[in-house]
Structure 1
Amino acid sequence: MSERERDPDADLVARVGRQDPSAVRVLVARKLPRLLALATRMLGDRMEAEDVAQEAFVRIWKQAPHWKEGSARFDTWLHRVAMNLCYDRLRGRREDPVEDWPEHPDPGPGPDAVVEARTRDRRIQAALAALAPRQREALILTYYQELSNIEAAAVMDITVDALESLLARARRALRDRLAANDIREDTS
């Protein structure tokens, strides 16, 4: 890698490897929000997502002294670790996840808007959950985690062309499933 292409996290990871407490704080502040968002979307459970994020940071702590800047960016490696931890948890589930929406007073939009947004979110989450796992992973990495196609393909260990094909199929399947749900709700 040239100096211009250097991994933006390389120096920080090296400091974490030397057990620099301030570097650990900076790394957690930088990476935790996206890890939580990824795990929450994959698992549909904030508590499990927090466990996954914690496990990912433990792995960072253990691997940081051995981290070598190379072909994969640190962020790509971290997303792959988080995805693998999510898949481990999903494989361990014995039944379909049940979404319990917390009851929080909301000073913002009125109850109708909240119910409508929750219904839409549930429909989208259910449609995402019904996708093939690799299609769901491609959508989450590119749209929710905002990784570039190159980064998402690296996380998934596939070519960019394969990622784009997965994304096209995933968008089509998601659109079809949401449209089918609209038709069923209109006839109920």
Structure 2
Amino acid sequence: MEDLTSHPQDVRGVDFAANDLSDDALLRRFADGDAGAARVLTDRLGPRSFSVALRMLGNRAEAEDVTQDAMMRLWQMAPDWVPGTAKVSTWLYRVTLNLCVDIRRKKRPDRLSDVPEPEDGKASVVDRLQDEARKDALQLALSELPERQRQAVVLRHIEELPNPEIAGVMGISVEAVESLTARGKRSLAAMLADRRDELGYDNG
């Protein structure tokens, strides 16, 4: 599979301090023929798209496919982008969520079929296994939430987006975001309550 950081061929080879540019400016530069801007924008936004897709789908391969598809749509849309109408990241989150919904509609999601490998570190084997168990439990609980609640919870509490931006991504009001997030959190807490001791959560 092609690497997620792949980008269109550089057609001008322009050198500039791209890391200091806004998403809008980078997208405009790409539309003008500078693929170096696409490299920076992919490094900046690609991981965010992948993170959302992985939490929505629970499958790394599918999340990679969604991220590549979402970024490709970003490049296709670039010539028509109007700066200031919305954030580029908001647009990408929306496309990512829509692609995830399409996949979930086509088949039942594989529960925890491909969870991320634990990072190497100084934690003991027991600690790492328990940490993975917590991640697995959270992913399973997320998969049980209604679609819109899952989207709101992932964007708010995993991606840590502000409610107004989530409202823009989901096309709903801020009040609706708050309601979905609150209901989703309550549902997650209820689903995980019986496993607190097993997962090593503090009962205090």
1:61 aligns with 2:75: yes
Q: Partners of 1:21 and 1:154 in 2: how far apart?
A: 28
Task: Give 1:164 deviation, angstroms.
Answer: 0.3
* One-letter amino acid of the counterpart of residue 113, structure 1: D
1:74 aligns with 2:88: yes
Q: Cα–Cα, structure 1 residues 95 and 170, in superposed 2: closer, same or farther, change >3 Å?
A: closer
Q: Partners of 1:105 and 1:95 in 2: how far apart?
A: 25
TM-score, normalising length: structure 2: 0.79
Q: 1:11 aligns with which of 25, 28, 39?
A: 25
Q: Partners of 2:54 and 2:114 in 1: how far apart?
A: 13
1:38-80, CA deviations, whole angstroms, 9 ceiling, x for partnerless residues?
1111111111111111111111111101111243221111100
Q: Partners of 1:94 and 1:172 in 2: how far apart?
A: 24
Q: 1:117 aligns with which of 106, 118, 131?
A: 131
SS of the residue aligned with 2:194?
helix
Contact 2:153 2:184 in 1 (8 A): yes
Task: Give 1:103 deviation, angstroms.
Answer: 6.8
Query: What residue ranges of structure 2 are gaps of 5+ in the alignment?
Result: 1-20, 200-204
Q: Cα–Cα, structure 1 residues 101 and 171, in superposed 2: closer, same or farther, change >3 Å?
A: closer
* One-letter amino acid of the counterpart of residue 33, structure 2: Q
1:48 corresponds to: 62
* One-letter amino acid of the counterpart of residue 134, structure 1: R
Q: Cα–Cα, structure 1 residues 150 and 105, in superposed 2: closer, same or farther, change >3 Å?
A: closer
Structure number with higher helix proportion:
1
SS of the residue aligned with 1:99?
coil
Q: Partners of 1:102 and 1:8 in 2: how far apart?
A: 30
Q: CA RMSD in A?
A: 2.3
TM-score, normalising length: structure 1: 0.86
1:151 corresponds to: 165
User: 1:96-107 maps to which residues of 2 (within 5 A)?
Assistant: 96-101=110-115, 106-107=120-121
Q: Which runs of 4+ in 1 moved over 6 A?
A: 102-105
Q: 1:27 aligns with which of 24, 27, 41?
A: 41
1:128 corresponds to: 142
* One-letter amino acid of the counterpart of residue 53, structure 2: A
Contact 2:59 2:112 in 1 (8 A): no
Q: Partners of 1:16 and 1:158 in 2: how far apart?
A: 30
1:79-105, CA deviations, whole angstroms, 9 ceiling, x for partnerless residues?
000111111111122464352457779
Identity of aligned residues (%): 42
Q: Partners of 1:77 and 1:102 in 2: how far apart?
A: 26
Q: Partners of 1:125 and 1:94 in 2: how far apart?
A: 15
Task: Give 1:181 deviation, angstroms.
Answer: 3.9
1:133-160, CA deviations, whole angstroms, 9 ceiling, x for partnerless residues?
1111001011111211000011011000
Between 1:134-143 and 1:91-100, the stretch displaced more is 91-100
SS of the residue aligned with 1:147?
coil
Contact 2:152 2:177 in 1 (8 A): yes
Q: Cα–Cα, structure 1 residues 135 and 8, in superposed 2: closer, same or farther, change >3 Å?
A: same
1:164 corresponds to: 178
